[in-house]
Chain A
Amino acid sequence: MTFRDIVPIIAVIALLAFVPVFVTANTVLNFLVFTLIIALTAQGWNILGGFGGQFSFGHAAFFGTGAYAAALLQVRLGINPWIAFAIGAMAGAAVGWMIGYLSFRSGLRGSYFALVTLAFAEVLRILANAATFTGGAAGVLIKLHVRPENFQFESRSAFFWIALALVGAVLVLTRWIERSRFGAQLVAVRENEAAAKALGVDTLRVKLGAITLSGAVTAAAGCLYAQYFLYVDANIAYGTWISVEAILAPIIGGLGTVFGPLVGAVALHGLGEVTKLAAGSVPGIDLMVFGVLLVVAVGFAPDGILGLLRRLRRSAQLSGAPRHA
């Protein structure tokens, strides 16, 4: 990876960093922070699903682990929230490695892998909902104590910048994946596992690497969620909603691309807000649109928004260029 590879990332992040200067309304900032958390969750999914072709339907397992770790470590054990955050991400990596080891070792792929990840997430949800350590169905409340060393801030902009920095860091990470041997091997596994093996790719190790990274990134999003909303319960942390969000954004934005998850998350939640404005406060209307969009995207725009843009640009170039008969 060279510096030139990350120039677009730096440009996009720098541009976005100015948003809180112009936008100060809390509702808008809330929306932006939430969207960035979803983008981060989806960036994690994209490493495994987009680059590795292993579609997990249970990324809630990682998101929830991050969220609960961040909350419980500080509430129950009094650990500093920043350290809890780091541990939370590592816990996500560990859970990722474990789920990956069990399922990839048994050769699960395709729909079977989707199902088993879904089941792992459900087991964790039920456990978190029942155990007393996790606060059971009542969940965990993080005490409000606004101080930077507590990972709590006066202004929402601070959170926005932290979320943005994390998203930026993962953009760089993803770009590195795209440019590295690990990434090439991961994509090879996605395209054709047998051929990859024949070329000396240790497919198990590569997939494990991907799910571990993926788990860490999505868990970091979970930590951020807990820290922002100061509350976690089983249906939020380990609920299917977040697994679905993790899948939707990369597919809408552009599967297996660096910017796909971010573009997808912004587009989806932007659209969601518009739908809510248009339809009033009908519950579920935004998600209904997302579902339809997923079907349409898979059917007609398999490369997502970024793919559409690329195609548009190409056809614009073609029509702009002088024609030869």
Chain B
Amino acid sequence: MMYSPAIIAEAVVNGLMTGAIYALIALGLTLVYGVLHIINFAHGALLTAAMFAVWAVHVAFGLDPYLAILPLTPLFFGLGYAVQRFVIGPASHGSDSNILLVTLGLSIAIENALLAGFRSDTRSLNTDYGFQVVELGPLLLSKPRLIGFGAAVLVTVLLWLLLSRTDTGKAIRAVAKEKLGASLVGIDVAHVYAVTFGLGCACLAVAACLLMPTFYVNPRIGQAFVLVAFTIVVLGGMGSIPGALLGGLFIGVVESLCGLFLGDSLGQIGIFLIFILVLLVRPTGMFGAKA
């Protein structure tokens, strides 16, 4: 079967736009990995929670999803901070496999709490711009997804600036590199861990706000995203922020093209095969070394 260049180009561009959001989700994951050296299995469930929050403030207060970024980002930062500081940290006693299990437990608890609260129905938002398109040469692009793309890239850059230019960023990088040394020079490691986790959750809140105008939410939705996000993190190099962005865009395109060539149900398999291959061949990632 042949595909016209226009269709393929459209698939690539669509893939890039989805990929940017994936990147944003992966960003939180990779940041937490880079600093705490843990894989946060609750990431997907926290994303679901953020998406429900966007939906809820829209339904309750009529708040536009893009405006919801303003209250939800700090809220999720605080939530993430508290979860790391008061749940994950104390419950895991510093052992890696415990952290794995604690975040798994959190993920099960959050996901099913949402299921109990909202039932398994799928919900979406009605906005007047949800279906608007922008013409770009021969391509018709969804306006909200274009906004999502721009915003996701912007947040990545902001986060990178935060880490490289601010004192908080310096402390985070110090802890990431040498936990013991950092604590010796007076950095409060538990606080930095919690801040990092909070930042990861803040990324999720932004991602949720960017997703909701074109996407839907149900209690299990996070799972689909988180597996993709893991792939991106592994591909981009655990802990690498540019890696997460590149990896996200790449995976977005792969998924979109696999969907085009293999159909929707098999489309996702390309991602997992890449995931497995990268893990087996080079667990430190393709786009750069471990940060």
Contacts and interface: CB of A to CB of B under 8 A. Distances in A.
Interface in A156-195: none
B281 interface: yes
B82 to A, nearest CB: 14
A108 B280 contact: yes
A122 B280 contact: no
Given A115-B230, A285-B116, A291 B107 contact: yes
Contact of A299 (B90, B109, B231): B90
A203 interface: no
B108 A299 contact: no
B266 A126 contact: yes
Contact of B105 (A55, A118, A298): A298
Interface stretch (B68-76, B96-104, B169-177): B96-104
Contact of A130 (B227, B265, B281): B265
A248 to B, nearest CB: 8
Interface in A292-322: 292-296, 298-300, 302
Contacts of A286: 112
A288 B109 contact: yes
A103 B281 CA distance: 10
Contact of A55 (B38, B92, B97, B223): B97
B91 to A, nearest CB: 3
Contacts of A262: none
Contacts of B268: 122, 126
B242 interface: no
Nearest to B91: A299
B39 A284 contact: no
Interface stretch (B15-23, B133-141, B270-278): B270-278
Contacts of B265: 126, 129-130, 137
B272 A126 contact: yes
A137 B264 CA distance: 13
Contacts of B115: 283-284, 287-288
B29 to A, nearest CB: 11
Contact of B97 (A110, A127, A294): A110
Nearest to B107: A291
Interface string B249-277: 00000000000000101101100110110
Given A108-B279, A130-B266, A283-B119, A291 B106 contact: yes
Nearest to B39: A111
A126 B283 CA distance: 23
Contacts of A296: 91
A240 B280 contact: no
Interface in A34-70: 53, 55, 57
A123 B230 contact: no
Given A55-B97, A118-B230, A247-B104, 8 more contacts: A108-B279, A123-B273, A123-B276, A287-B115, A291-B111, A293-B105, A294-B108, A299-B90
22 contacts: A102-B280, A103-B279, A108-B280, A112-B283, A115-B230, A116-B279, A116-B280, A119-B275, A122-B272, A123-B276, A126-B266, A247-B101, A247-B104, A284-B112, A284-B116, A287-B115, A288-B108, A288-B113, A288-B116, A290-B109, A291-B108, A294-B109
Interface of A: 53, 55, 57, 102-103, 106-108, 110-112, 114-116, 118-120, 122-123, 126-127, 129-130, 137, 240, 244, 247, 251, 279, 282-288, 290-296, 298-300, 302
